[in-house]
Structure 1
Amino acid sequence: MTSVIQSPYSSEQIAAWLRGLLTIAWADGNFDEQEKQLIASITQDELAPNVAWDSLEVITPEELAAVLGKNTPTAENFLRTAVMVAIADGTYSSSEDQVLHQLCQALGEPEDILSALRQTLTDPQPLNPALAAPKAPAADVLDPLRDWLDELDIQDPRVARFLCKMIPSQCPFERDVTLFGRKIVHIPPLCKINPLYEQLVGIRFRALSYLADECKEDVSPYI
């Protein structure tokens, strides 16, 4: 897939960006086969078609900073997409928190946003007490996080395609799981699980608009 837009990112930066997102996806140990196939498809078809999937490995914070720079717009935009990957399923685990904490330090970015995540998103395991922040009303702590995510600057069609594929196109319907005619669990809509779901949908819409308006691409496959 080609684009008329000249990306501000080099191929090396995109490859490092992708490895960073994979590092987040693998952080909680719940990287299932479906997720693997999804990211493999995005990798091979759109983000880095010349990079073999089997060769992709996690990246250290120091390696990522060496490629993306420290305290740069590129580093900040990467962190926005990394946070998005971490919260896409509505949960924020302590392992994801640890990885993002290390990335923020290496990339020279403030950790205020992580403090908001620690206070609002569900985590089945207790967060690191040394990193935990005092509790505050959810409506208050989420506002800076929403504003920060809204500042994601989409300047690369490969990143835009990743966002369109990674973020669901609509809030999945709630449903009951039954066994032998008896309800055993109720699954609520994702938009109710994830308090930032509407923000993610907004980012997806901006990515679609960028591909359609700036890159003149056919976005029907993502709708």
Structure 2
Amino acid sequence: MTSSVQSAYSSEQISAWLRGLLTIAWADGNFDEQEKQLITAIAQEELVPGMSVESFETITPEELATILGKNTPVAENFLRTAVMVAIADGIYSPSEDELLQKLCEALGEPKNLLESLRQTLENPQPAEAASGAASPLTPPGKPPIEALNPLRDWLDGLDVQDPKLARFLCKMIPNQCPFERDVKLFGRKVIHIPPLCKINPLYEQLVSLRFRALSYLADDCEEDISEYI
């Protein structure tokens, strides 16, 4: 898919940007077959036609810094989208946190940028704490939600200015709050997972970003956005 709209970024920057986001999505390895197919499809459509999961090459923080620059507006906007991709499923894992921290350091962003989000890792639910698994983000209304306000404001500062990036975000961010579900083992419920919008305190930022991406594609690029709705 092509667009006549002039991107605010070079093709090399966008290619590195999307590889970086896919690297984040790949970080915790915690995705089912449907998610794997979605990520592969996005890579094939926006990066490398015919690419397979096995042939995908992740990108290092140092390589990203070389292409996006250090302490630049493009680097900051990349990090905003990287955080969004990391929390899109309502789970912020230690592997995602470690990679994002390395990205912050390489791209010259404040080291305390992720501090409030990292607190969600320090307050896992009992079931996850016992198993050592990644923990859901702290539910709204409980600490440290107030501490996330600066991060919310920072995430809301992202403007979508590239068609490929906009399409990526529309595909990666769910178009509606996923249904709650029970996880069963040997026929018995072992954990109840509430709807994503109930466990992700940054859900409004995700919805807002997806809306801005849709608006950009429809209004600026004049693309048909029906497949994303």
Give the distance between the partners of 1:174 and 1:93, measured in 2 at CA.
20
**What is the alpha-carbon root mean square deviation over aligned residues?**
2.5
TM-score, length-scaled by structure 2: 0.84
Q: Partner letter of residue 108 of structure 1?
A: G
Residue 73 (structure 2) pairs with residue 68 (structure 1)? no
Q: Is 1:44 equivalent to 2:50 in the alignment? A: no
Contact 1:14–1:48 (CA under 8 A) maintained in structure 2: no
Specify the alignment match of 1:111 in structure 2: 111
Partner of 1:30: 30
Task: Provide the C-alpha distance between the structure 1 equivalents of 2:211 and 2:66, rounded to a whole number of angstroms.
Answer: 31
CA positional deviation for 1:98: 1.0
Question: In 1, are the aligned partners of 2:18 and 2:165 still within 8 Å (CA)?
Answer: no
Q: Which moved more, 1:163-172 or 1:10-19?
A: 10-19
User: Aligned partners of 2:66, 2:177: CA distance in 1, in Å?
Assistant: 37
Amino acid at match of 1:52: M
TM-score (norm 1): 0.86
- Is the Cα contact below 8 Å between 2:170 and 2:210 reproduced in 1? yes
- Displacement of 1:82 in angstroms is 0.8
Task: Give the corresponding residue for 1:202.
Answer: 208
* Partner of residue 153 from structure 1, selected from 132, 141, 159: 159
Taking the aligned partners of 1:200 and 1:24, their CA distance within structure 2 comes to 16
Contact 2:76 2:109 in 1 (8 A): yes
Gaps of 5+ in 1: 128-135
Q: Which moved more, 1:9-18 or 1:115-124?
A: 115-124
In structure 1, the partner of 2:7 is 7
Amino acid at match of 2:68: L
* Unaligned 5+ runs, structure 2: 135-141
Segment drifting more, 147-156 vs 176-185: 176-185
Q: What is the aligned length?
A: 214
Report SS of the residue matched to 1:120: coil
Distance in structure 1 (CA, Å) of the matches to 2:26 and 2:215: 30
User: Which residue of the partner structure matches residue 98 of structure 1?
Assistant: 98
Q: Identity over aligned residues, as a percent?
A: 72
Conservation of the 8 A alpha-carbon contact between 1:178 and 1:184: yes
Q: 1:137 to 1:9 in 2, by over 3 A?
A: same
Matched, 1:218 2:224: yes
Retained in 2: the 8 A contact 1:113–1:144? no
Q: Which residue of 2 aligns with 1:189?
A: 195
What is the deviation of 1:91? 1.6
Matched to 1:208, the amino acid is L
Partner residue, 1:171: 177
| Equivalent position SS for 2:75 | helix
CA distance in 2, matches of 1:172, 1:50: 29
